[in-house]
Amino acid sequence: MPKTNLRQIKAGIKLVYTEETGSAGDLQMGSKLTFLGAAGTVTGSRFLIENGKKNILVDCGLFQGLKALRLRNWAPFPVAPRTISAVVLTHAHMDHSGYLPALARDGFSGPIYASEASRDYAEILLADSAHLQEQEAEYANRKGFSKHRPALPLYTSEDAERALRLFAGCKFGQWIKLADDISFRLHHAGHILGAAIVEFSLGGLKVVFSGDLGRYDDPVMLDPEAVSAADYLLVEATYGDRRHDKIDPQQALRTITEKTIARGGTVIIPAFAVGRAQALLYHLERIKLAGGLRNVPVYLNSPMAIDASDILCRHHADQRLPMAVCRSSCGIAHYVRSVEESKALNEDDTPKIIISASGMATGGRVLHHLKRFAPDARNTILFAGFQAAGTRGAAMLSGVEAIKIHGENIPVRAEVANLSMLSAHADADEILKWLGNFREPPKKTFIVHGEPSSADALRHRIEEQLKWRCLVPEQLEQVELM
């Protein structure tokens, strides 16, 4: 690990990486925690626990957004994958699970523990990710717009299959023993189906990873489950510096879509195939039941989102919707599976609503829809949640006049809006509400999975309101847990 990225941590948390030798020091006691990702950025969730017997990786996500972050995906993993004993997954979103195929390709062969719904989601997400990367590399080579000759995928479908064979489903609340002095259990985090807070019992210490916390009183997902104690806590800060808009999301969605339809336009909604797409279908069905958007077709153009909708209804105990409501919500859209059907949507000038992955417009079929519909002022590009720095979504919301897709500069004349209140992440107030369940302050709280401004804002608020000791760790920082 580069020694320039490591710094001394004081007040009882000690640096244990030996810079002179580039290896761990001769520590006989305690466990180590290394921040391999989601430190100083909102993506690339990866945390390594070492206790001398087992090396446990919590999450194994892709870095997304800025090019400097994306390049980390192509660098060798900071520790040898074959030395990792097991992976514990908080949930299946790509910034938490998307590097698993590369990890398995490069030597990891241990179990990957996840909730049963996360395992089901990972089956479609990782396969789709590998297919898209192979497809985009082929497209880049055919069109000649890549700087690399030839363009290669980060990993292949075979790598994804190798990783998927390692998955082991876990039930919420069930303790899983990894070694004599290491066990963990999952608590519901809300956020998306199967998302978990992970509680470790680690040689007498309790270490808790919040994962991505969901919203309270969400119509689809369960509330984040209360956790009452931790010696060390890692808490997400995606929205650590802001509050979500209190506007009714259904009313906001109805207003924007009906205004666009009235001027003869099409609404393109880049949406995460897992979680956000299903929430949008629920709200659109409620709008239609209330008499809105009559005769306006809704298309779900993402085979992965179609499969994810089926998984949502299968795991009815992990969400709020009655089975009948789940089925009717997911049935509101015309499902677009084939490439030919997807292309046909771009030839159709009829006003309509198209939901298509990905949520930050970083890849997938939605890019072809943006090329077709973004240049027309009658249309609307409607985002539905957080847009990481460096993504096309963040660029469009900032007001850029053009975006680059497949080597072309595409004018953005369509209306661009964001339904931030549809975010699946807890805002700052909701994070503090969840932290209020702890009976005593942790020895240390690490603020992760946030851009620098949001992480520091949350650190300051926790220190001021709760009087807890907090730290915003740096990439590759390593601490001893005592």
What is the domain partition of the chain in residue ranges? 3-242+424-481, 249-422
Residues above pLDDT 70, as percent of the chain: 93
Query: Is beta strand 267-270 parallel, antiparallel or unpaired with respect to 353-356?
Result: parallel
- CB proximity list for 343: less than 8 A, separation 6 or greater: 368
Q: Scanning the structure block, which residue is given the tokens 């053009």?
A: 402
For residues 158, 476, 449 and 393, what is the CA-based torsion angle, rounded to 10 degrees? -60
- Of 58, 209, 73, 72, nearest to 129 (Cα)? 73
CATH of 249-422, one of 1.10.10.10, 3.40.50.10890, 3.30.1330.100, 3.10.129.10: 3.40.50.10890
Q: What's the rounded Cα separation, in Å, for the pair 254 and 465? A: 38
Report phi then psi at 437, rounded to 5.
-80, -15
Q: Say whether 249-422 and 3-242+424-481 share the same fold.
A: no
Residue pLDDT, tens place only, 418-429:
998 888 999 999
Prediction pTM value: 0.86
The architecture CATH gives domain 3-242+424-481: 4-Layer Sandwich (3.60)
For residues 214, 216, 220 and 224, what is the CA-based torsion angle, rounded to 10 degrees? 50
- CB proximity list for 340: less than 8 A, separation 6 or greater: none
Residue pLDDT, tens place only, 293-308:
999 999 999 888 888 8
SS3 at position 112: strand
Residue pLDDT, tens place only, 378-405:
999 999 988 888 899 999 999 999 999 9
Distances (CA, A) of 110 to 87, 223, 349: 7, 31, 51
Residue pLDDT, tens place only, 430-477:
999 999 999 999 999 999 999 999 999 999 999 999 999 999 999 999
Question: How is the beta sheet containing 380-383 ordered, strand by strand?
Answer: 334-335, 298-300, 353-356, 267-270, 380-383, 415-418
* 229, two tokens: 């104690």
**Residue 22: CA atoms inside 13 Å, Cβ hemisphere, count?**
4
User: How confident is the model over 218-223, as a mean pLDDT?
Assistant: 95
* 336, two tokens: 């677009």
Q: How confident is the model at residue 358 (pLDDT cuts 50, 70, 90)?
A: confident
- Of 277, 288, 284, 282, nearest to 322 (Cα)? 282
Neighbours of 368 (CB within 10 A): 18
Strand partners, 355: 269, 300
Given this model, what pLDDT does residue 21 score?
Answer: 29
Say how many residues make up the chain.
Answer: 482
Mean pLDDT estimate for the chain = 91
Q: What's the rounded Cα separation, in Å, for the pair 182 and 167? A: 19
Q: What's the rounded Cα separation, in Å, for the pair 324 and 310? A: 13
